[in-house]
Structure 1
């Protein structure tokens, strides 16, 4: 996969970062697997590490340009952010020592279970009275004060997200929505939560060497493919800047269904990549 194709897919990661809270992980993993197919089973390990760097930069930029009034919903979430970081470090370490096929199987299985959960369990597609849409103004209001996410969820979310390279948004966005946030707020808040996971995961992925892959790929630093990450980020960052300045108005229910549909597309992509 050449740089032009990666740049184009980077544009898509910018859209998913703003609209769905995916800092690039779900899009980047199958793409980097394709780009590094010559590495065989190790391609998924490189993909999850590269995904962490893409998510780190995208999530940091998206958080920086998010209105402060939105981010105040995370006030008092210090313990949650700290445990997300601890989990992210643990997941990144596990990726370095686990068999390559485990991450690929885990990615496929987790996305499939998430799709089933969002379809069948109330609270995401069918909110329990938390979100109301005004047909006249196309605005969203919350009927009750959203609940904070329990800090205890931080470590497992961070570990799974870093191990699979998914960034955490696939867990935090549904959790935030079920806690009472509309989709536009849940997806925005997913970025700083992803940032907490991606920072330690990226640091661990960039340091050290990998005996299997490092000598076979000139663009690798640690387990990170800098060529792929750079092209993806070059496409994503301008899109994030534009969409944060002028976010599209999407009805809440359509937004939720679009999130679910994107998960389905990613599941097919990673299956084909494998």
Structure 2
């Protein structure tokens, strides 16, 4: 039953990857925490590690099928990508050392604060008005954001899209472009986080709980999630739904709210 449930959730991660730029982190973390509840306090560590692998595959596939004209907006972003990867390596190492309980509550608090920020601060639902010539041209993301965004994203297992999508939205991109560009940025974060997870020793409770881990990654959960997600990504990238920009932004906030509620129920 867990595998069926995880595959069903994988369908949802495919939808969120295409529509919202979430490679699976925000959706995968709560469900893996629930599926691996027998691991006790270590379930959160396994969930963030498993989420990273799911994001590598989902975000990589989504990036590969994204039109080149959309990806062109990231030209000149190599310093940003490098700093995202460096921050992610540090964040992934930190989460292996931090107590699992505080990491879970940090996840919940971060997502909840993000929802409040998106609702109250101009630029996401209500685009900020910028004056001057060429004001409508989207601005590139500052490279210095890379290290802190990568560190927080890998530490919490969220992939970074919860930070990069609002940032690109406020930089002037429509939701459709901002969410598409979140996938290559997520890939830069998830790759080093996955590498760290693979070389980290499995948690001792896994043997008694009959959870099969590679490093800290639950391969059964990751496989089921990807089985559901990849076909959905392929279909939606080929035939993307047409969603009004403001409704798209509200959907993003609604998903974050639902994830916060799911994590509170699992806590």
Q: TM-score, normalised by structure 2?
A: 0.96
Query: 1:76 aligned to 2:68?
Result: no
Unaligned runs of 5+ residues in structure 1 are 131-141
Whether the 8 Å CA contact 2:25–2:157 is kept in 1: the answer is yes
- Please give the alpha-carbon distance, in whole angstroms, between the structure 2 residues aligned to 1:108 and 1:115: 11
Q: How many angstroms apart in 2 are the aligned matches of 1:39 and 1:103?
A: 15
| Root mean square deviation of aligned Cα | 1.3
Shift of 1:212: 3.4
Measure, in 1, the Cα distance between the counterparts of 2:251 and 2:164.
16
Cα offset, 1:102, TM superposition? 1.8
How far apart are 1:145 and its partner, in Å?
1.1
Tell me the equivalent position of 1:233: 226
SS in 2 for 1:233: helix
Kept in 2: contact 1:214–1:221 (CA 8 A): no
Deviations 1:200-242 (A, max 9, x none): 0001101131343443444111111000000000100000000
CA contact (8 A) 1:91 1:161 kept: yes
Contact 1:158 1:197 in 2 (8 A): yes
Give the unaligned 5+ runs of structure 2.
none
1-structure distance, mates of 2:155, 2:54: 15
Match of 1:188 among 176, 180, 191: 180
Task: Provide the C-alpha distance between the structure 2 equivalents of 1:210 and 1:240, rounded to a whole number of angstroms.
Answer: 31
Instruction: Give CA-to-partner distance per residue, 1:58-95, whole Å, 9 cap, x none.
Output: 00000000000000000000000000000110110001
Question: How many Å apart are 1:129 and its aligned residue?
Answer: 4.4
1:144 positional shift: 1.4
Secondary structure at the residue paired with 1:181?
Answer: coil
1:249 is aligned to 2:242: yes
Q: Judging changes above 3 Å, is the alpha-carbon distance between structure 1 residues 199 and 145 closer, same or farther for their aligned structure 2 residues?
A: same
Match for 1:197 among 189, 194, 197?
Answer: 189
Is 2:156 aligned against 1:174?
Answer: no
2:201 and 2:216 in contact (8 A); partners too: yes
Counterpart position of 1:135? none
> Per-residue deviation at 1:2?
1.5
Which of 164, 167, 170 is the equivalent residue of 2:156? 164
Q: Cα deviations across residues 89-125 of structure 1 (Å, max 9, x unaligned)?
A: 0110001111111210110110011011001000001
Moved over 3 A (4+): 210-218
